Structure 1
């Protein structure tokens, strides 16, 4: 639910700790996305606010003038990230009501070591030629330590551990700090000295200041800021109301509204946890009201919100980094990702529909819903900046940062006009103009703060992940892994993919989506590409990167650490682990999607003609619906075991389009469906699995 403007930082504790179902969920979001520290000292609270707003203003300035080198921009970016990481996020046992001296010290050391690159940039690049002197080595070493501490605090211990392992790999060898002679099959280097490690990670743009943080600093920040401002304007609540008014009367209407609302909210939010709270605070109680059990209500919201990061045009920070890694325009990546994202949400809508059928639930009476067209018109102005952003990206084909900056300017104008209109309408006096502009300025101020706080985790995670990317490049680790995995998998591409998916899910337990993708893109994606080529598969590299990206997102609701599941369960008052398990069950239709477009790149629109593209999408959608029915064990009524097996075979045939599979799969699926429907009618079941249903006195047994 969209937050109300916070008049003063003193009031933020009340806003974030609101009583009711959403209070605990808001706390989870604060701890993971915004920083949970709320100092009692007024000046400390204002310092955090001004740091965040200052970061947003600096990023807007840097983008508008574009005069900073990527390395300097990354250093400034990480400086702000360090400050908010240590001052806004308390340590595991650190105080949340004040900022202790050691956090001031860590923030100061982080800022000094990052800004050292900016201040000493000319000497590092021109005078020294990129070769570090003793002082550079000390500064780089201190930054690595502080970065590890910041990442452990706000991202988790997994990322520093992985970074430490790859550094250990780099310094091991006959000529390294650890003088051993390891097996050649893995160690394809002789080992490096510490000054060489610092040169790679701290002085050059192939480590900490490499592609991940450059992308984070150049345009990820702007897109996150765009989403934060749009949410502060009220778009989040508008999307929920619109979905609810349009779908609420159908079977399990609030659940379908939750799915569509999460899809729409995913356009403005790169965080699955924040998406869960934004839509779930409203939709989960309504799902429980019509009869969905608490665990299933929370799981539906969890699955829908997790998949929000799949939805263009704002797919989270990882998608922007992917476009840069692949050296393709972001507008092109949007087109590749669009069809799988839509298939995923279509499958989830069908999933919740089948759940409603199994529970014999219906929708809400129209009298209890807001009118659709009035709701649509009330917030149609929120769609203008989004449409303008897509126009700039897709039609004009401006760079992502320039497109986002132009859309931000338009959005700020929309916010000011919205608040001015509301105040003039309510007061009908000239004083309403001043009040409206003031209210609009406060919303913009709050959005600038929220956007920067949302970026803290991304800035630190991309910097820490840059260590891994830099060491993989330096040591040629990817080639060694290719050899090892090739031997273990015996050249079987299915085993390679299952291993990659499992690794991504395991890493996702301890890593956010962005860091997970960077690690997988550096370590696993090249392995998959090489082994696919060895077995004669021509798989576009974008399909391989989307493969690991999808499984990194799925980790957000994977027990035992999925924060989206914890946020949903805090609202539904259900067990978080069982909610996560149920949510992952709903996400099984997303699990199969990466395999679909890996073996069939036509699904990401690698097609010869639009007619072929339409047919591929149609058959894939039929296959997706059939697969969902199998996982639910239900279609018109509960399916018998042999019906599930036959439909599973048809689903797999449809998932891999081809003349033979289409000719066999579609007719067989139609025959099984007709038989299943006839069996249901003969047993007194419903004649159709679709429709709104009737309104019995008791809507469901759940509460």
Structure 2
């Protein structure tokens, strides 16, 4: 961007392109906010303290941290590559790699994260080892108290000794090195432990006690107190089960059982969560770090501003788009806020947004990045393991809600700009009418689709003709594309990120800006192609994408120097060695940054594993379901609302990965269990996305809202007000989970291409209308009736079946004696439901519903056998006599000796989409009424973006 640094301009002169009233408002805002919030060095320290560690001592200690971080990245690349199997060297199983992964994370965390010394932090730091030492003693056998006390006292003494920010004292070195040993314990003694499964010896328990205490302390340092408190509470619950209220009581566990379950096996700390962090997440974080070091982060921001900066409230729209692109590769909402916010927030304030609104836009768009595939804050890979579906399906199901949410956020920003009559930044070119731009966007999308299909066809052709040589040929074609895009980029000026606090005279031109970094898109294409087309594992896909990214980091600078020399630019060919050295430096920095970004995630997944271990060991999930059922009275919406609130509470202060692990382990089973009992039968992925969405909303919501505090630090606004405004901007994200729970079409479940496009268009329209209603502005300012009408229209478009089911119920409730006949009358593939009575896992009577597709078969008896069910009749009662192993009935949860209470057969009903007719008629009435009041001239159509 071009900036104005002219000191001769009179102080009262209005800068070009900015109305005087906006200048006055901005001046007042700057004064009120402390001149823009934190300094850049303070912002950098904020990011370091939350993501990479705030301590990088000088001298050999600092170099040790950097070298270990670099080695961690090399280790992760090694285990993800095919090289160990090709060379038959260094082949490790999953348990061994998890052990080494945690050893790296804990060592670096103790060295890189100094402990906070605030009174609250100090009290927590002392309380946790004291409480856990007492509980370990309570659960221990006689004669074990002395070494437990010794370990607890040693950890407590190291905590009280202090934790300076500028050097690493000897006691912290001791904590770091002991952490390495306890983390590597199951790797070092792998064979011995395998020979005594379930029978831990004293040595195992000593290591487990030390490991749990050290892990809880390092969690406090790296992630703050929230996750440490939650994990400590769950561990306490494990020991104190008999003393809990009856509804959540259990028999209690001994120290031997807890040590074995949490540290010696893969049920707790070294469970699935840490395994996903080891196998998948690290490589994606490393890929993002290398992409950022190569210049892609700056490129995304510049492209967003060149395309959208000139629109009404343009910087805010650009903030949304750049955060979306950054969110594709980022695993942290806080890092996303600070990375893009340091540039976008001052520019939003420049065009008239208040500090709180500017920060709130950045918070809403950055947190939204955590629900955007393909990474989803690393939660996508955890979902693969927890839900048991392919990665491709996770991305497919999560894509539509995330995209709709971002489109709605852009529209919310537009409405805010309309309400305040804000303008965009000055542009160096004449903007085209919005209809022309929409046509241009549609044409660009069409060309991208044609290009994608062309690449797909060429790839298949090469593989069909070249056989074993096809990988080499495809790599050659990729290199040609890379060199071609580099040559295009070399003809443009290098992008520079200007000072956002300087006056903007002109935005960069879209064409040159886009062309200057097209080669950054290639590694993302490689990643998405490997994941979505070739269907490689996430780990292998990330490895190949990262390997290509390493190649780009090393070669882009010298190749650009050569090409610019050929093109006749001023850069000298003698700068090629310097550019090559700079590429090597970028690679080393990227490898170190990737590892340091992973410290918190590695610690979070390990500590969250404690919670997962407690859930599996104590059965607290079913107890929590009883609590929710008692509070909700069995009302379905109340169950979902309570689960959403609990997800928000449990997610407070947790990073995205730990957040999802906790809410999915505790609350997803609650919805599944209580839903079955109350008629809600939805795919498991919908349930996991539901709790995930509300879990990450905790990053927005006061009083904890970490992302809101980070944005307020940048903007200089009030963090609580920023969080409140961001929450209202994020209402669309809070509404989506309730909608896709009842209408799984939004998750593209069993939806074809044509229907999928229809769902996308209608759902987007509905979400824009919802945004217009909640923001109080459509074509002009809404009155109460218009806002209510828009909410009603949006709900009807989202869930037309709600009204149609009242007119024509989709189910016929039949007595159980008509089971076979109803199966025979139903169409193959239709959903078929049964209400069943039986006993739950603890022997209590329970009623629940199951849903199965109607199978092939000539008669009802044939179809019943295909489902795997054998029944006997006892008067009017129908009892399940047998359920075939691995049959649809067994998968649905049916078992012998259960009683079928009711058959719900699908009924013929008119299309639910007929409800769109009255909805659109009401929308036309609202549009007509607002235009009558003057909305056409000063307002905007729903889909207008400028």
Task: Give the C-alpha shift of residue 562 in structure 1.
Answer: 2.2
Distance 1:268 1:182, change over 3 A: closer
Distance in 1 (alpha carbons) for counterparts of 2:934 and 2:788:
18
Which of residues 234, 246, 269 in structure 2 aligns to 1:208? Answer: 269
The answer for the alignment partner of 1:24 in structure 2 is 42
Q: Are 2:744 and 1:601 equivalent residues in the alignment?
A: yes
Distance 1:349 1:183, change over 3 A: closer
Matches within 5 A, 1:1-80: 21-39=39-57, 41-64=58-81, 65=84, 67-80=91-104
Task: Give the C-alpha shift of residue 396 in structure 1.
Answer: 0.4
Distance in 2 (alpha carbons) for counterparts of 1:685 and 1:351:
17
Task: Give the C-alpha shift of residue 363 in structure 1.
Answer: 1.8
Question: For residues 560-609 of structure 1, what are the alpha-carbon distances to aligned partners after superposition, in whole Å with 9 as ceiling and x for unaligned?
Answer: 23222222222222122211211111111111011111111110001343
Question: 8 Å contact 1:213–1:463 — kept in the other structure?
Answer: yes
Which structure's residues are more often helix, by fraction? 1
Distance in 2 (alpha carbons) for counterparts of 1:636 and 1:435:
57
Higher alpha-carbon deviation: 390-399 or 509-518: 509-518
The answer for the alignment partner of 1:280 in structure 2 is 341
Which of residues 92, 114, 123 in structure 1 aligns to 2:116? Answer: 92
Distance 1:594 1:681, change over 3 A: closer
The answer for the alignment partner of 2:804 in structure 1 is none
Higher alpha-carbon deviation: 157-166 or 508-517: 157-166
Question: For residues 644-666 of structure 1, what are the alpha-carbon distances to aligned partners after superposition, in whole Å with 9 as ceiling and x for unaligned?
Answer: 11111112212214325423222
Q: Are 2:368 and 1:307 equivalent residues in the alignment?
A: yes
Task: Give the C-alpha shift of residue 206 in structure 1.
Answer: 0.9
Distance in 1 (alpha carbons) for counterparts of 2:703 and 2:261:
36
Task: Give the C-alpha shift of residue 397 in structure 1.
Answer: 0.4
Distance 1:352 1:692, change over 3 A: closer
Distance in 1 (alpha carbons) for counterparts of 2:234 and 2:344:
44
Higher alpha-carbon deviation: 156-165 or 114-123: 156-165
Task: Give the C-alpha shift of residue 692 in structure 1.
Answer: 7.5
Higher alpha-carbon deviation: 644-653 or 218-227: 644-653
Q: Secondary structure at the match of 2:508?
A: coil
Question: 8 Å contact 1:231–1:268 — kept in the other structure?
Answer: no
Q: Are 2:280 and 1:219 equivalent residues in the alignment?
A: yes
Distance in 1 (alpha carbons) for counterparts of 2:256 and 2:96:
21
Task: Give the C-alpha shift of residue 310 in structure 1.
Answer: 1.3
Distance in 1 (alpha carbons) for counterparts of 2:400 and 2:598:
28
Question: 8 Å contact 1:22–1:277 — kept in the other structure?
Answer: no
The answer for the alignment partner of 1:630 in structure 2 is 773
Question: 8 Å contact 1:249–1:692 — kept in the other structure?
Answer: no
Distance in 2 (alpha carbons) for counterparts of 1:681 and 1:491:
45
Question: For residues 68-93 of structure 1, what are the alpha-carbon distances to aligned partners after superposition, in whole Å with 9 as ceiling and x for unaligned?
Answer: 11111111111111111111011012
Task: Give the C-alpha shift of residue 536 in structure 1.
Answer: 1.5
Larger radius of gyration: 2
Distance in 2 (alpha carbons) for counterparts of 1:227 and 1:666:
44
Count of equivalent residues: 667
Which of residues 109, 127, 152 in structure 1 aligns to 2:178? Answer: 109
Q: Are 2:202 and 1:128 equivalent residues in the alignment?
A: no
The answer for the alignment partner of 2:723 in structure 1 is 580
Higher alpha-carbon deviation: 625-634 or 315-324: 315-324
Task: Give the C-alpha shift of residue 297 in structure 1.
Answer: 1.1
Q: Are 2:808 and 1:670 equivalent residues in the alignment?
A: no
Which of residues 703, 714, 733 in structure 2 aligns to 1:571? Answer: 714
Q: Are 2:235 and 1:235 equivalent residues in the alignment?
A: no
Distance in 1 (alpha carbons) for counterparts of 2:341 and 2:204:
49
Q: Are 2:389 and 1:371 equivalent residues in the alignment?
A: no
TM-score, normalization: structure 1? 0.91
Q: Are 2:442 and 1:361 equivalent residues in the alignment?
A: no
Distance in 1 (alpha carbons) for counterparts of 2:943 and 2:692:
33
Question: 8 Å contact 1:619–1:654 — kept in the other structure?
Answer: yes
Task: Give the C-alpha shift of residue 548 in structure 1.
Answer: 1.0
Distance in 2 (alpha carbons) for counterparts of 1:364 and 1:654:
36
Distance in 1 (alpha carbons) for counterparts of 2:277 and 2:203:
28
Q: Are 2:218 and 1:150 equivalent residues in the alignment?
A: yes
Distance in 1 (alpha carbons) for counterparts of 2:744 and 2:935:
40
Higher alpha-carbon deviation: 418-427 or 407-416: 418-427
Which of residues 389, 398, 406 in structure 1 aligns to 2:527? Answer: 389
Question: 8 Å contact 1:208–1:465 — kept in the other structure?
Answer: yes
The answer for the alignment partner of 2:390 in structure 1 is 329
Distance in 1 (alpha carbons) for counterparts of 2:681 and 2:197:
41
Task: Give the C-alpha shift of residue 181 in structure 1.
Answer: 7.0
Q: Are 2:254 and 1:254 equivalent residues in the alignment?
A: no
The answer for the alignment partner of 2:630 in structure 1 is 487
Task: Give the C-alpha shift of residue 300 in structure 1.
Answer: 0.7
Question: For residues 281-318 of structure 1, what are the alpha-carbon distances to aligned partners after superposition, in whole Å with 9 as ceiling and x for unaligned?
Answer: 22112111111122211111111111111111121122
Distance 1:500 1:113, change over 3 A: same
Distance in 2 (alpha carbons) for counterparts of 1:489 and 1:591:
20
Distance in 1 (alpha carbons) for counterparts of 2:596 and 2:237:
34
Task: Give the C-alpha shift of residue 553 in structure 1.
Answer: 1.6
The answer for the alignment partner of 1:697 in structure 2 is none
Distance in 2 (alpha carbons) for counterparts of 1:663 and 1:24:
56
Question: 8 Å contact 1:357–1:689 — kept in the other structure?
Answer: no
The answer for the alignment partner of 2:106 in structure 1 is 82
The answer for the alignment partner of 1:5 in structure 2 is none
Distance 1:657 1:620, change over 3 A: farther
Gaps of 5+ in 2: 2-35, 86-90, 118-162, 429-505, 802-911
The answer for the alignment partner of 1:15 in structure 2 is none
Question: 8 Å contact 1:25–1:566 — kept in the other structure?
Answer: no
Q: Secondary structure at the match of 1:396?
A: coil
Q: Secondary structure at the match of 2:286?
A: helix
The answer for the alignment partner of 1:652 in structure 2 is 795
Q: Higher relative contact order by CA 8 Å / sep ≥ 6: 1 or 2? A: 1
Which of residues 593, 604, 609 in structure 2 aligns to 1:466? Answer: 609
Q: Are 2:590 and 1:521 equivalent residues in the alignment?
A: no
Distance in 2 (alpha carbons) for counterparts of 1:270 and 1:202:
26
Distance in 1 (alpha carbons) for counterparts of 2:244 and 2:329:
49
Distance 1:687 1:264, change over 3 A: closer
The answer for the alignment partner of 1:700 in structure 2 is none
Task: Give the C-alpha shift of residue 50 in structure 1.
Answer: 0.9
Q: Secondary structure at the match of 1:316?
A: helix
The answer for the alignment partner of 1:265 in structure 2 is 326
Distance in 2 (alpha carbons) for counterparts of 1:378 and 1:60:
29
Question: For residues 234-288 of structure 1, what are the alpha-carbon distances to aligned partners after superposition, in whole Å with 9 as ceiling and x for unaligned?
Answer: 1011001101111122111111111101101111111111111221122112111
Matches within 5 A, 1:360-509: 360-367=421-428, 368-424=506-562, 425=564, 431-509=574-652
TM-score, normalization: structure 2? 0.68
Distance in 1 (alpha carbons) for counterparts of 2:620 and 2:185:
30
Question: For residues 304-343 of structure 1, what are the alpha-carbon distances to aligned partners after superposition, in whole Å with 9 as ceiling and x for unaligned?
Answer: 1111111111211222112111112222211111000001
Distance 1:115 1:692, change over 3 A: closer
Distance in 1 (alpha carbons) for counterparts of 2:701 and 2:753:
37
The answer for the alignment partner of 2:934 in structure 1 is 680
The answer for the alignment partner of 1:186 in structure 2 is 248
Higher alpha-carbon deviation: 521-530 or 577-586: 577-586
Distance 1:122 1:681, change over 3 A: closer
Q: Secondary structure at the match of 1:223?
A: helix
Distance 1:585 1:608, change over 3 A: closer
Which of residues 243, 260, 263 in structure 2 aligns to 1:199? Answer: 260
Task: Give the C-alpha shift of residue 686 in structure 1.
Answer: 4.3
Distance in 1 (alpha carbons) for counterparts of 2:372 and 2:253:
42
